[in-house]
Every structure is written in structure tokens, then in C-alpha cells.
Chains A and B, each alone.
Chain A
Amino acid sequence: MSRQRSMDKILASDFVSIGELVRLTGSRYSTLKFYTEEGMLPFEQEEEKRTRRFPRENAVSRINEIKELKEQGLSIPEIKERLSSKAY
């Protein structure tokens, strides 16, 4: 049996899945998928399993940063430019 992880366990993990990232941030799955495909979210991928693993702390703070920039009225290309000038 493969059980879903509790929020406490997720919060104690270094890496999380995209579904867990949704649970942590309340963001939409399609939004996170878009950010991932646009290179705005850091992730690791094991080639064989093709499952994306996100470094929890970095990914959550990056999502919050994107939300803030969107609230300031920046477009996605502008946000991407702003993020690319920073190192993970």
C-alpha cells in the first residue's frame, strides 16, 4: 500500500511532489505545471520514473515570490526575467 503523506511529514521533507506542492501552497495544478514547464520552478527528475521532485523550501518560496510579483502587476515574461537574474 502506498499512502498519502500527512502535512507534518510533507513539511519535514526536503523534496515534494507537485501534488504535495499544491497542498502546501493552495496553487492550481495547471499553474504549477505551467511554471515548471516555463523553467520558473526548480525541480529534479529521475529519468526512469519520470517523476518530478521539487526542493520544498525553494519551490514554496519561489511560488510565493511569483504570486507577489503577479500582484504587483508584472507579466509572466517580466517575472521570468526578474527570476532569471537570481540564482536558486
Chain B
Amino acid sequence: MKELSFAQHFTLIALNAQESTRLTNSKKVSLRCMAAAVILELYLDNGFSQVGDVLTCERGILENPSISLYQKAVLNIFFSKNETISGTLPQYLTRVVKMSKKQLKIVEDAFVANLKEENALEEIHALLSSDLEFVTAGIEMKEYRSNSESFTRVTESIRAEILEEGPVTDEAILMLWLLRESGSIYDLFSKEELKHVAERIYKLYNDSSLGKTVFPISIHNTVEYAVKNFLKMKKEIMTTPSGSGVAFVFPIIERSQSIFIDTEAYFANKEDRLNDVKDRLERNGHHIKVIREGDIPLIKIDNMLYEAVPHAKVYKFPVHGVRLLKYPLSL
């Protein structure tokens, strides 16, 4: 597999475990951020001519053989019928909020085509399809799964760069901003680590000109963001020894569902219960790895970690099983 680009790396995180057949709210947020990632990639690679803070780009760039299909798709949307586009970096980035559903679909198709070609992304049965309610209703859903090796390399290297002392590259600053804006930051860092991340953002905001430019930018579309417990979380996580402020706000976006997997029978033995759930998920094509056994096992399902909490649902009679709850990749 050839080395993927900055925007493709972000896409591996943003699209992983997202439904492929429906335009959910969380996928809309991811797609807007993927479009923003193309602008940031172009900015990093000096694709804009810059006078002061104003960045300009001519339509001729689309004829450049080094431009990828996904970059072309996003830039075409930005150019619309114009020959030239110009604006400051914040102006470019906030434009993604206005993208229509049709445009977002174009962005998705272009990225997915490129990544599938590189064997970096595939479509599988959605984990939610294994939920009792969906199984009994006969609803089949599909989702994206990023190549496990590439996903680990991308997520772990960004974790290393942010959590480790030392200089932070421009790519890491911009990736951090994208993770924050897409809500994926909760998948990568634990609540405890987020306190360190918030301090890091505060420092980058003060010490790096790129950090100062991007961290105040928010591309939230309020309709697409779940704000439940937002203020509580904000207070808990964003207050650092150095202070608190707009740069520390991590928007909360509902990117995962709580999934109930029923077992074939009631298992008093926790090992049997876990094996039954494992078999069920593997039959549906998921990659399963048990990270920790015990009363509440921790399992890795297609790049993401879940705690499998024993649970019973009461209909006319009780149905036993486990509830899968997402766990951050911070082991």
C-alpha cells in the first residue's frame, strides 16, 4: 500500500465504523471535515498563492496531474463556476458548513473510491445490524471499516505526537483540529488524556502561528451536533491549570450507538457468554479480539474498543445478552 495523504489519513479515522448507505448526522460532520482536510492539505503543500493572509487558487490547478480524485471533487465544489477562489484560511474552512447533501455525497464517493483502490477501506455489515432489534426487524445495514494496520499507525502516531513531550508538527496541529471538529477526538483519547490534550491545544494556540489560526475556527453545524451534557463535559474537561476558553471546546457528536447482542441462551458462565457473542459477530464478518476478560470484557471489534456489559432486555420474556459500549483507544 502506498503512503496515504494527510486528508486520507484523517478519512480513515472519520469514516471508520460510519454507516456507508445512509447520510447520518455524524457522517455529515465527518464529510464536512474531510472537505476541510483537503483545503488544509493544499495549504500545507503550498497549493495556494499567498499574499498576506489571503490565499488564492486558480482553476488550472485541477489540470495538475498530481491532484487526486478526492482533491478534485472538493476543489470543484469550492470553484463552482468561478475561475479563481480566494480568502483567508478560516474563510475557506468555514465554507464547508454550507455544503449541500449532494455535495457531501460527491466528497464521500471520491474519498471512498480512492481509499478502496488502495485497500485502505472496505464496506462490511454494520455492527448495528447485529443488534437484536435490527436482526428481528430484518434490517441490514453497511458500514465502513478502515484497514486495521493503517488505522493503528495513524491513530497511534497522532496519540504519540500529542501525548509525548516535544515539538508538534503542522500535520499534528491540523489533525488535532480536525479530530476536535469531527468529534473523533473522543475515540482516540480517554477523558484523562483529554485534559492533557486541552493543555497542549492551549500551548499550541499561544506558541504556534498555525495553532493560533486554526484552533479558534469552529465549523459546527448546530443541528448536527448532540449537545447533551455539553456544558458539564466542557467544564470537566476543558478547565486546565492554564485557564479555559474557546480553544478548549471539544464538541460532542454522537458517533456510536449502544448495541445489544442477544445470546442464544442464558449463560451464567462469563466465558461461554463471551464466546457466544464472539461467534455471532464473527459470523457477520467482524474482526474480533478479546483485549481483557472478566465480568465486563473489553473487546476490539473492527478497530474500535467496546466493553461488553451483561444485560437483559425484558419483552414478554427476558432476553439475555450483552450491551456493547464504546471505549476510547487509550489502553
Q: How long is the Cα–Cα vector from A2 to B174 in the complex, in angstroms? A: 12
Cα separation A19 to B153 with both chains bound (whole Å): 9
A residues in contact with B167, CB < 8 Å: 2, 49, 51
Q: Which of A1, A7, A22, A23 has the most CB of B within 10 A?
A: A22
In contact, B166 and A49 (Cβ under 8 angstroms): yes
| Contact between chains at A28 and B171 (CB < 8 Å) | no
Chain B residues touching A, range = 20 to 34
A45 to chain B, nearest CB (A): 10
How distant is the Cα of A32 from the Cα of B331 in the complex, in angstroms? 12
Per-residue 0/1 for B205-219: is the Cβ within 8 Å of any A Cβ (1 yes, 0 no)? 000001000000000
Assess whether B170 is in contact with A3, with CB atoms less than 8 Å apart. Answer: yes
How many angstroms between the C-alpha atoms of A33 and B165 in the bound complex?
Answer: 12
A21 to B153, CA, bound (A): 10
CB pair B171 A29 closer than 8 Å: no
What is the CA–CA distance of A6 and B156 in the complex, to the nearest angstrom? 16
Contact present for B159 and A1 (CB under 8 Å): no
Given known A6-B3, A28-B152, contact A22–B169 (CB-CB < 8 A) = no
**Contacting residues, chain B, for A23 (C-beta < 8 A):** 153, 157
Residue of A nearest to B149 (CB): A26
Q: Mark B159-173, 1 if CB is under 8 A from A, else 0.
A: 111011111111110
In whole Å, how far is B90's beta carbon from the nearest beta carbon of chain A?
A: 18
Of chain B, the residue at the smallest CB distance from A24 is B153
Q: Determine if B49 is an interface residue (Cβ-Cβ < 8 Å).
A: no
**Residue of A with least CB distance to B158:** A19
Q: For the complex, is B113 an interface residue (Cβ under 8 Å from A)?
A: no
Cβ 8 A contact of B157, one of A29, A33, A50, A51: A29
A13 within 8 A of B: no
Q: Determine the residue in chain A with the shortest Cβ distance to B330.
A: A30
Which residues of A sit under 8 angstroms from B290, Cβ to Cβ?
Answer: none
A59 interfacial contact with B, CB 8 Å: no
Query: What are 9 inter-chain pairs, A to B, with CB distance below 8 A?
Result: A17-B164, A19-B161, A20-B157, A21-B160, A30-B331, A49-B166, A49-B167, A50-B165, A52-B164
